[in-house]
Amino acid sequence: MTPRLVVAFVGIAAIVLAVLVVPLGINFQRSQTQDLSARVERDAFVLASLAQRDVANGDAEAREELAKIAERYQRDTGGRVVIVGLGGELLYDSEPSVAASQSFATRPEFRQALDGDVATLERYSSTLDQGLLTVAVPIATGGDVLGAVRVSFPTADLDASVREFWLRLALISVVMLLASAAVAVVLARWALFPLARVSTAAVALGKGDLAARADQHDGPPEMRRLAASFNTMADQLANLVESQKRFVSDASHQLRTPLAALQLDLDNLALGATDAARRERFEELMDETERLSGLIDGLLALARADTPDPPLVTVSVAEVAADRIARRWKPAIKEGVAFVDETANVPVRTVGGGLEQMLDNLLDNALAVSPPGTSIALSTEAHGRLAEIVVRDHGPGLGPEERARAFDRFWRGGESASRGSGLGLAIVRQLAEASGGDVTLRDAEDGGAEAVVRLPIAGPAETP
């Protein structure tokens, strides 16, 4: 946004300068031309008054004196003097070598002067290869026109003066535009940098950094008020999220005790039941309490994973995988479903107990969809600073819509729709992101699905 504001500010400054500078340059050029015209016209009238006796009487002495005056005038000013009679015939030319003919009757300035008017015009002389300001005045006595005097003055000095003035105006305009750009940059930074900081804080808050705040002590008053409002909103949001976490954690803890007592009572009642139907009903109720217990455990895991900046520990993928398979899953494995553990001894960084919970949830989902006679494979691959932990099954896989919703909390789909809490993959994603990694689902090459957890590999200083 800053470059656009600078361009807009400089554009406005350029328009203002154009409105001021262009008329100033035009007025200067016009005034210089008018001054030169007035000066040349005055000189022409002086020469015309001196030429009256020469034209009227043809006095040789007067003509000689007039020639000296005209020559001195041309020598001092550079202006050419031409005097013609009433019929336009040439009487005197201070530059006779330039004249193409001895008659000037067809020249428009002489025709106008011989009619008793003053003629002023600017033209370019191809013969002299320069611009000329020409003034022709009548030679008159007693109201009778006897001839005309024309003074042609080079405009080279005038053009140079006007050109220099335009260059000065251009230089001043450039300096003013550069100064405007510098001022615009300073003003834009002063006004917009606080907004950029608010935007940065908003992005961080949107990504889950509840400690993100904007600087509310810098910038214009409107920006400071905006930053203060944002910080107030962030405080309220942080308090709300923290209250929600405490509620989930407290409620889960409070539910665990009565739920455990309920499971124990159901176990006792099932053992004492003699009727097969009642025993089956008790077993169904025990399955429901186990599902409810899993839901509570999942809520507790999510509450712990939502903790900002959780401490990370270094664990070996191979050791954790072997421990979870031996302790948790081999005793409860489906008939005919085998584990293939191909994990490597790669040290990864994760939240405490996070890798164990991630593997438990992924293996639970894989077992739920694996048909008898198939296997579940665990493997690891290193990609730069990340380790990929892959859990592959040979189930029906997931469609595009199921993959898109698989990480939503409480969503259950496919063959696992009738079991579980719907929190397993949500917990895996939360723990992976809290560890600085991520998790994705993809189709396996030989059928089934693959869950890929990416975790940062521990550096030498972090490896125990």
Instruction: Name the CATH superfamily housing domain 310-462.
Output: Histidine kinase-like ATPase, C-terminal domain (3.30.565.10)
- Cα–Cα distance list, 378 to 215, 226, 318, 338, 359 (Å): 48, 51, 9, 11, 9
Q: Give CATH 3.30.565.10 domain extents, the chain.
A: 310-462
Per-residue pLDDT of the chain (464 residues; tens, 9 = 90+): 567 777 887 888 888 888 888 888 888 888 888 888 888 888 888 888 877 777 666 666 667 777 787 888 888 888 888 888 888 888 888 877 655 566 787 888 888 888 888 888 887 777 667 788 889 999 887 778 888 988 888 888 788 888 899 899 889 888 988 888 888 888 777 777 777 778 888 888 877 777 888 887 777 787 788 888 888 888 888 787 777 666 666 666 666 666 667 767 667 666 666 677 666 666 667 666 766 666 666 666 666 666 666 778 899 999 989 888 887 777 666 667 888 888 888 899 988 778 888 888 888 888 888 888 888 889 998 888 899 999 998 888 877 777 777 777 666 665 554 455 567 788 888 888 888 899 988 888 878 888 999 999 987 655 55
Q: Are 63 and 92 in contact (CB under 8 A)?
A: yes
Helix axes 156-206, 2-50, angle to 10 degrees: 170
Strand, helix or coil for residue 388: strand
Tell which residue, 196, 239, 185, has the closest CA to residue 218: 196
Residue intervals in the chain for CATH 1.10.287.130 = 208-308
Continuous segment of H or E residues that includes residue 402: helix 400-405
Contacts (Cβ under 8 Å, ≥6 apart) of 88: 103, 104, 105, 106, 107, 110, 111, 114
pLDDT at 417: 46
Q: How many helices (H) and strands (E) does the chain have?
A: 11, 12
Dihedral of alpha carbons 331, 333, 337, 343, sign:
negative
Specify the pLDDT at position 454.
93
- For the record, the structure tokens of 84 come out as 């013609």
Q: Give the distance, in angstroms, between the CA of residue 398 and the centroid of all CA atoms in the same chain.
A: 40
Closest to 421 measured CA to CA, from 271, 292, 267, 235: 292
As annotated, the residues of the chain forming the CATH 3.30.450.20 domain(s) are 2-160
pTM over 0.75: no
Looking at 3.40.50.12590, 2.60.40.10, 3.40.50.2000, 1.10.287.130, the CATH number of the domain 208-308 comes to 1.10.287.130
CATH of domain 2-160: 3.30.450.20
